[in-house]
Amino acid sequence: MNLARIVPIAPWLLGMCAVSFPRPLAAAETRPAYLDPAAPLESRVEDLLGRLTLEEKLSLVHADSKFTTAAIPRLGIPRRWMSDGPHGVREDVGPDTWNVAGHTDDFATCMPVLIGLAATWNPDAARAYGDVIGEEARRRGKDIMLGPGVNIQRTPLNGRTSEYLGEDPFLASRMVVNYVRAVQSHGVASCVKHFAANNQETQRASVDVEMDERTLREIYLPAFRAAVQEGGAWAVMGAYNKFRGQFCCENDTLINHVLKGEWGFQGLVMSDWGGTHDTREAVFNGLDLEMGTERGARDRAKKSAPEAGSDPSPYERYYLAGAFREGLKRGEFPLSALDDKVRRNLRVMIATRLFDGREEGALNTAAHQKAARSVAGEGIVLLKNEGGALPLRADKLNAIAVIGENAVRLHAYGGDSARIKALYEVNPLEGILRKVGARTNVTYSPGYRKDGAPDLIDKAVAAARAADVAIVIGGLIHERPFDCEGADRSDLRLPWGQDELIRRVAAANPHTIVVIVSGSPVGMGDWLDRAPAVVQAWYGGTEGGNSLADVLFGEVNPSGKLPCTYPRRIEDTPAHAMDEYPGKNGVVHYAEGLLVGYRWYDTKRIEPLFPFGYGLSYTKFEYSGLTLVSGTAPNGPIVTVEFQVANTGDRAGAEVAQLYVHQAKPSLPRPLKELKGFRKVMLNPGEKKAVSIALDRSAFAYYDPARSGWVAEADDFTLQVGSSSRDTRLQGVFRLGETTLGN
Ligand code: BGC
């Protein structure tokens, strides 16, 4: 129980002491404890806390510009810088405006968007990715990176689908852990966002999300939990929306009870920009750092801080600034509430080695560009490849017709807060030109344009007819209302007449390759049966065009797998089928419950266009020899699934072996299958490797709301191993002997 809440006056008196007698840096004191890297973290935090005045403390819990908090020079605390995130270090803005700062040293490496990272199904790629972000953030002087985003894809129409890690909590969890660890290894805090249930952009600032406890625990929270508990993320950003009637940035259940209580999170919770709404709620419900409060909200806050002066600075009008100070003075808020927030802010500073001399970092290095190329290439998903249409052989082609605006359009500088001022961005046309050299004649025709131009199709068809191969590079754009913050798409269709373009190009040239550049699933029903090859390329970043050309011409054998289901029709998707998107009267009920993504399609037996986990290769893989080995070590795995994967084709390639679990007779209904393990295996032609995936009890458990815990029941579990969620190659049954309840 928080005594300070009951007796608010006493802590305030203590606070007065803190105001009057902060511990100064004594002249004789050579190195105070907080500056001693060898001292334990908590004693450094307490030492520094004890030296702060009330004003200094307050200055640490709200912004003093768009992306900073104030410096405290007398204690050697510099201005603290935050930056978006999530696939590169954003250009500088402000300080007090969203206008770009116009710096020349803020060009950065743009990594592929996060959904493209998820499509690698390779936690090592997440580590390489995080290393780039961390090193570049350090070089750019950033202390906290605003990412990654781990909101689960509830609807493919969500404008921020590209910024997240797909539809499955297990996959997202495995990817986020390495991302966060890598970023933070460079002395930069990773701020995981948007906590929680932020699954649509429509009405994002107000919509109230309702879902049952089990769905929350099993679908929407695991990636956050993994980021915090396994990844050690030092910061979490609250979401804009409400959850069960309370704004997420000031949400007692999510922040106080789950994040800080159950999960023991010791870092800081910051608001999304403009996500703070009320001083009292922010004080008591766990918000530690208020960022981005804008004018309308400021004016409301001003009313509760009358003595803030005739024209207080915009930052003084923040909910956790003047109004907080006044509430402390009046005894409405205990000083302990402020101290807890400050402690968390200091902890993050110290844990990220602010006072210990951090590495300088590095920007736009060849190594970063190489990582960008390899991760983007590894995330490209080959969706269809009939008759060996791919890979292309440059030496066998005299003429290639490249068609489509996305062959030349740049996307790095799109996506609103996720935009990156890339040092350069190789577009697909450039990538192809570089790959084929002067030998092959490459023509380019736009085929469609964002602003429409009907005759473009005729020209593209003529170009396709005259070429050996036509490559249509279309998809979406990284701008509203497509793959961009602030709005959702209205449907799955490709815009601007692309369906017709692809149909006609494919009719004109049987060797037509379709490349979809997008950050979310698109409809393909109109033309999929007519195009022999289809590639999902995402927004590939700095090296995107090279990565795509690597795959098209076979230098990289595709190994990406879909991190989300591609539906045939939007009506087939769970939120839309339940008529629970975008909600009614400001409330959205997640009525589909646990049945998100493949859990829905499998359980409801709906045929998707492409299933979760799907992706082809230029080689073939065979699975064999499944054995289940029961664990006997007390804290070890309870079963290890062992099998072999062989490359039976004639090229080296990587396969993502996926393990799904199905419980025979659960006491509460469960989805037909759930991903609980995967392994990416690189194999030379003819090579066979043994793979083993160890499962602990969490792989068998579901959340039981009645017992507020995770139950693994004594039952039979079918363990399916395969190449996608719908392509099971091996299976075995494991009998769990004993029911257990855990956290
Ligand atoms: C976004 C956040 C972002 C912040 C700062 C908000 O609009 O929702 O993801 O980090 O702006 O740019």
pLDDT 10s digits, 508-538: 999 999 999 999 999 999 999 999 999 999 9
By the 10 Å C-beta count (0-12 exposed, 13-18 middle, 19+ buried), 65 is classed as middle
Nearest CA, atom 11, ligand 1: 273
Per-residue pLDDT, averaged over 60-87, amounts to 97
Residue 664: the pLDDT is: 98
> What does the alpha-carbon distance between residue 638 and residue 546 come to, in Å, rounded to a whole number?
44
Closest CA to 698 of 675, 716, 680: 675
Nearest CA, atom 7, ligand 1: 273
Pocket lining: 418 vs ligand 1, CB cutoff 6 Å: no
By the 10 Å C-beta count (0-12 exposed, 13-18 middle, 19+ buried), 733 is classed as exposed
Q: Residue written as tokens 């079918």?
A: 718
> What does the alpha-carbon distance between residue 723 and residue 727 come to, in Å, rounded to a whole number?
6
Q: Residue written as tokens 């625990």?
A: 217
The pLDDT > 70 percentage for the chain reads 94
Tell me which of 117-121, 196-200, 392-396, 607-611 is least confident: 392-396
Residue 634: the pLDDT is: 79
Two structure tokens written together for 333: 């808020």
Reply yes or no on whether the pLDDT at 296 is more than 90: no
Tell me which of 256-270, 449-463, 595-609 is least confident: 449-463
**For 638-651, what is each residue's pLDDT tens digit?**
999 999 999 999 99
Residue 25: the pLDDT is: 56
The confidence band for 5, taking pLDDT boundaries of 50, 70 and 90, is very low
Residue 22: the pLDDT is: 54
Pocket lining: 273 vs ligand 1, CB cutoff 6 Å: yes
Tell me which of 89-98, 213-222, 271-280, 517-526 is least confident: 89-98
Measured in Å, residue 100 CA sits from the centre of ligand 1 at: 15
What are the start-end ranges of the H helices in 470-543? 498-508
**For 89-139, what is each residue's pLDDT tens digit?**
999 998 888 999 999 999 999 999 999 999 999 999 999 999 999 999 999
Residue 23: the pLDDT is: 58
Per-residue pLDDT, averaged over 268-275, amounts to 98
Closest CA to 359 of 134, 129, 125: 134
The confidence band for 86, taking pLDDT boundaries of 50, 70 and 90, is very high
Nearest CA, atom 4, ligand 1: 273
Nearest CA, atom 12, ligand 1: 417
Three-point CA angle 412, 423, 362, nearest 5°: 115
* SS3 assignment, position 12: helix
Reply yes or no on whether the pLDDT at 17 is more than 50: no
Reply yes or no on whether the pLDDT at 20 is more than 90: no
Please report the atom of ligand 1 found closest to the CA of residue 292: 5
Per-residue pLDDT, averaged over 61-87, amounts to 97
Backbone angles phi, psi at 63, to 5 degrees: -70, 160
Two structure tokens written together for 439: 């030998």
Among 146, 163, 194, 203, say which to mutate for ligand 1: greatest number of ligand atoms within 8 Å of CB. Answer: 146
**For 437-465, what is each residue's pLDDT tens digit?**
888 999 999 999 987 777 899 999 999 99
Measured in Å, residue 272 CA sits from the centre of ligand 1 at: 6
Nearest CA, atom 6, ligand 1: 273
Pocket lining: 201 vs ligand 1, CB cutoff 6 Å: no
**For 138-161, what is each residue's pLDDT tens digit?**
999 999 999 999 999 999 999 999
Measured in Å, residue 237 CA sits from the centre of ligand 1 at: 9
Measured in Å, residue 249 CA sits from the centre of ligand 1 at: 13
Pocket lining: 92 vs ligand 1, CB cutoff 6 Å: no
What are the start-end ranges of the H helices in 39-121? 41-51, 54-59, 114-118
Per-residue pLDDT, averaged over 584-589, amounts to 98
Pocket lining: 164 vs ligand 1, CB cutoff 6 Å: no
Pocket lining: 193 vs ligand 1, CB cutoff 6 Å: yes
Residue 27: the pLDDT is: 53
Query: Which is more confident, 103 or 16?
Result: 103
Measured in Å, residue 362 CA sits from the centre of ligand 1 at: 24
Residue 389: the pLDDT is: 98
Measured in Å, residue 353 CA sits from the centre of ligand 1 at: 25
β partners of residue 710: 703, 742
Pocket lining: 151 vs ligand 1, CB cutoff 6 Å: no
Per-residue pLDDT, averaged over 247-254, amounts to 98
Residue 633: the pLDDT is: 81
Q: Residue written as tokens 């646990």?
A: 594
Pocket lining: 85 vs ligand 1, CB cutoff 6 Å: yes
Measured in Å, residue 271 CA sits from the centre of ligand 1 at: 9
Closest CA to 288 of 264, 261, 269, 273: 269
Nearest CA, atom 3, ligand 1: 417
Pocket lining: 146 vs ligand 1, CB cutoff 6 Å: yes
Reply yes or no on whether the pLDDT at 12 is more than 80: no
Reply yes or no on whether the pLDDT at 303 is more than 60: no
Nearest CA, atom 8, ligand 1: 272
Pocket lining: 84 vs ligand 1, CB cutoff 6 Å: yes
| The one catalytic residue among 272, 278, 550, 602 | 272
The confidence band for 29, taking pLDDT boundaries of 50, 70 and 90, is low
Is the torsion defined by CA of 252, 258, 260, 265 positive or negative? Answer: negative
Pocket lining: 272 vs ligand 1, CB cutoff 6 Å: yes
Does the annotation count 704 as an active-site position? no
Measured in Å, residue 69 CA sits from the centre of ligand 1 at: 16
